[in-house]
Structure 1
Amino acid sequence: MSAAIQLINIRKSFKKKQVLRGVTLAIQPGEVLGLLGPNGAGKSTLIKIMTGLLAPDGGDVKIFGRSLAKNKRLLRQSLGLAPQAIAVYPQLTVAQNLRSFGTINGLSGRQVQTKYDQVLPIFGLQDMQTEKAADLSGGQKRRLHSAIALMGPAKIIFLDEPTVGADVDSRNRIIAAVRHLSDQGITVVYTTHYLAEMAALHARIAFLNHGVIQATGSTESIIRQYAHPAVTLSFKGRLPAGLPGWEKDANHLRVSVPAATSPAQLLQTALTNPAVRDAQLTDVQITQADLESAYHTLLERDATHVD
Structure 2
Amino acid sequence: MSKLFTVPTEAIISRRLAQAYLITAGSAEAADEAARDFARAIFCETGTGCGICQGCRKFDSGNHMDYLEISSDGAINKDAIADLPFFLSVRPMEGGYRVIYIKNAHNMNTTVQNRLLKSFEDPPPNTVFILATDTPTKLLPTVASRCLKINLTPPAARSSEESEKFKIALAYTGGFAEQAEALLSDEEFFAARDAALSVAKKLLLGKVPIFTLAQELLQHGKKISDCLFTLSACFMDAAAWQIAKTEPQFTPDMKEAFAETKLSAVQLSKISETTLQYAEKQAANPGVPDRLITETMFFDIMDIIKQTR
Q: Into which bin does the TM-score normalised by the smaller protein fall?
A: 0.3 to 0.5
Q: TM-score, normalised by structure 2?
A: 0.37
More strand by share: 1
TM-score, structure 1 normalization? 0.37
Task: Indicate the structure whose relative CO is greater, using CA pairs within 8 Å and at least 6 residues apart.
Answer: 1
Higher CA-based Rg: 2
